[in-house]
Amino acid sequence: MAKNKKLIKRLKSKPKDFTFNEANSLLISLGMKRSNKGRTSGSRVEYSLDGLKIGLHKPHPGNEFKRYQVSDLLDALIDGGLI
């Protein structure tokens, strides 16, 4: 649970280097289920829990999210009542 709290604190600070791996770890630890978004999803991944759905796009070629993606993720988690 300590790692989860650290990731939430890090996400709330809106860092420039928040990675997909960190987001994946956080969402899974919050109880969300990961699935590919469609048969030909490519880099699109969807997380769901009790009607809340969060869609992410795996960044490439790197692993770091853009600033707007970090803000969108934080807003979705707050609006969904998970943090």
Domain with residue 64: its CATH number is 3.30.160
Strand partners, 33: 48
Kindly indicate the confidence band of residue 42, based on its pLDDT and cuts at 50, 70 and 90. confident
Three-state secondary-structure class, residue 24? helix
Instruction: List the beta strands (DSSP E) in the chain.
Output: 33-36, 44-49, 52-57
What pLDDT shows up at residue 40? 62
Three-state secondary-structure class, residue 45? strand
| Domain span at 7 | 2-79
CB 65 within 8 Å of CB 71: no
Q: Is the pLDDT of residue 75 over 80?
A: yes
Mean pLDDT, the chain, whole residue set: 88
What pLDDT shows up at residue 23? 93
pTM of the predicted model, to two decimals?
Answer: 0.85
Three-state secondary-structure class, residue 57? strand
* Number of structural domains found in the chain: 1
Task: Take residue 60 and report the two structure tokens written for it.
Answer: 């490439």
